[in-house]
Amino acid sequence: MLTAFTLTLAQLGDRRILAVLAKSIVVTLILVALLGSAGWWGLDALLAATGLGDAIMPSGDAVRGVLSAVLAVIGAWLVFRLVAIAVLQFFADEVVLVVEARHYPAAARAAQPLGWTRELRLGLRGLARSAVYNLAALPFALVLLVTGVGPALLLGAVNAVLLGRELTDMVRLRHRGEDAAVMPPLPAFTRFALGAVVAALLLVPFVNFLAPVIGAGMATHLVHRRKGS
């Protein structure tokens, strides 16, 4: 895990990685901004229609708008990790290709590009899976509120499992023509540890923009080192 992390960090300066990073950041910010704006309009309309805004802060439309904006920003921050991973999956082939070309050239030559339509489907499927799992865990997180740290630990574990699976699958799918003996899956604990590292990085301001690319690079090293073991 440490070797995969250090090798990935060493390659972050590669201009091809930087190009993918720039594209993924721009698309992620646009999508989060759109979701945040939609959330603001929706919350503002809900507060106005139900009268909840005036009940909470009876100071007119301006305060209601501010309250809606604050809630929308919080919501956008919460969905950032889901959107970032979904966007990266669209560009995943490029990240994995760059890492393989430098460290695993034979594998890079034998790989089968996914194509943008398949990458889009995978990204949307991953986003839907993340949303469903997080929503399913939400009631349990609410019960654990009394513990203080329970909700964070539970949701962190759920997202670690999801991220570990998504990141390793995006590498293995490029080699889907190879049988399981040649391209074996990573052990569950390794996938979880990978997901936990990326989930933790997604919580750090500014570093969270790098987290998906770091995760893709680490997954590439872990999968190919497992293959060669």
Residue 186: what pLDDT? 86
Q: pLDDT digit string (tens) for 94-133?
A: 888 899 999 998 888 877 777 777 777 777 787 788 778 8
CB–CB of 153/199 below 8 Å?
Answer: no
Q: Which long-range contacts (CB under 8 A, 24 or more apart) does 206-213 make?
A: 208/80, 208/81, 208/84, 209/21, 209/25, 209/28, 209/84, 210/12, 210/21, 211/81, 211/84, 212/24, 212/84, 212/85, 212/87, 212/88, 213/12, 213/17, 213/20, 213/21, 213/24, 213/88, 213/95
> Would residue 111 be called left, alpha or beta, if left means φ above 0 and alpha means ψ between -120 and 50 degrees?
beta
The residue among 47, 49, 92, 51 whose CA lies nearest residue 72 is 47
What percent of the chain stands above pLDDT 70?
74
Residue 185 φ/ψ, nearest 5 degrees: -70, 155
Confidence band, pLDDT 50/70/90 cuts, at residue 195: very high
pLDDT given at position 228: 63
User: What is the value of pTM for the model shown?
Assistant: 0.76
Mean pLDDT of 48-65: 55
Q: Of 224, 220, 225, 227, give the one whose Cα is nearest residue 88.
A: 220
DSSP for 171-208? HHGGGTTS-TTTSPPPPHHHHHHHHHHHHHHTTSTTHH
Tell me, rounded to whole angstroms, the distance of Cα 203 from its chain centroid.
11
Mean pLDDT value of segment 195-209: 85
CB of 52 within 8 A of CB of 67? no
Q: Is 149 helix (H, G, I), strand (E, B) or coil?
A: coil
Residue 15: both structure tokens together: 């201009």
212: pLDDT strictly greater than 90: no
Q: What is the mean pLDDT of the chain?
A: 78
- Check if the beta carbon of residue 102 is closer than 8 Å to that of residue 122: no
List, in order, residues 6 or more apart from 119 with CB less than 8 Å away: 89, 90, 91, 92, 93
